[in-house]
Amino acid sequence: MPTLTLPAEGGCRCGRVRLKISAKPLLTMACHCTGCQTMSASAYSLSAAIPSDGFEITQGEPVIGGLHGASRHFFCPHCMSWMFTRPEGLDWFVNLRPTMLDEPGWFTPFIETWTSEKLPWAETPAVHSYEALPTLDEYEALVAEFAGR
Ligand SMILES: [Zn+2]
Ligand SMILES: [Zn+2]
């Protein structure tokens, strides 16, 4: 299995927006919710929760897309790749779509969420599965368990 080496760079499909991470993810996730199915044009979305001070846009200016709601979904303004999300009220991390990285082979989802809405055949290697979302307390335990792996 490839391992994550930092800093790691990445970008959107067309390369106009480039980014860099310099911190390890707090948690890795797959989300099966129907919103993620629609926005990702796939069975589920992937997220690596990167501490905000270890996340940097190095080129271009991502724009807000999706529902334009309290959680802000950022896209490349040209190729419209869904690049990352700044979740509502949680400004200490950024949920990066790990396939934006030039070398995403290290990524596996540690948890999966919203399995109640998943496509019948959709499976991931996640260690923990949730029909909806973990509680905030459960998230704390998950982050500790993920860090200790
Ligand atoms: Zn682009
Ligand atoms: Zn989702």
In this predicted structure, what is the pLDDT of residue 39? 96
In angstroms, what is the span from residue 109 Cα to ligand 2's centroid? 13
pLDDT at 26: 98
Amino acid letter, 93: F
Residue 1 has pLDDT above 80, yes or no: no
Ligand 2 centre and the CA of 66: distance in Å?
A: 12
Under the banding of pLDDT at 50, 70 and 90, the label for residue 142 is: very high
% pLDDT > 90, the chain:
96
pTM for this predicted structure: 0.96
Rounded-to-integer distance, Cα 135 and Cα 50, Å: 19
**Of 117, 113, 59, 62, nearest to 86 (Cα)?**
62
- For residue 100, the ligand closest to its alpha carbon is 1
Å from CA of 69 to ligand 2 middle: 14
Write out pLDDT tens, residues 58-72. Answer: 999 999 999 999 999
Q: Is the dihedral of CA 27, 142, 3, 113 positive or negative?
A: negative
Q: What is the pLDDT of residues 111-141, one digit of tens each?
A: 999 999 999 999 999 999 999 999 989 999 9
Q: What share of the chain is helix, strand, coil (3-state, %, to 5)?
A: 20, 30, 50
Average pLDDT, the chain: 97
Measure 78 CA to ligand 1 centroid, in angstroms.
Answer: 5
Structure tokens at 106: 């290290």
Task: List residues bridging with 63 in a β-sheet.
Answer: 75
**pLDDT bucket at 108, cuts 50 / 70 / 90:** very high
Quote the ligand 1 centre to 146 CA distance (angstroms).
31
CA of 62 to the centre of ligand 1 (A): 9
Cα 77 to middle of ligand 1, angstroms? 7
